[in-house]
Amino acid sequence: MLEKSPLVVGLVRKGYEVLLCDDPIDEYVFNVLREDEGKVLNY
């Protein structure tokens, strides 16, 4: 369902990569992880 969100669709059309994080562990991971494979994660 999230991948069909108008916001997500619009961002993908503009060339952004979008991570869909709907698992409770994701909040913890993003508090610890700031970069992945040389890409800075913005949230």
Query: For residue range 17-34, what is the model confidence (pLDDT) as tens digits?
Result: 898 988 999 888 878 888
Q: What are the boundaries of each domain within the chain?
A: 2-40
Question: What pTM was computed for the model?
Answer: 0.61
> Token digits for 2?
């999230």
> Measured between alpha carbons, how far is residue 8 from residues 11, 28, 37, 38, 39 in Å?
5, 22, 22, 23, 19
pLDDT of 42 > 80? The answer is no
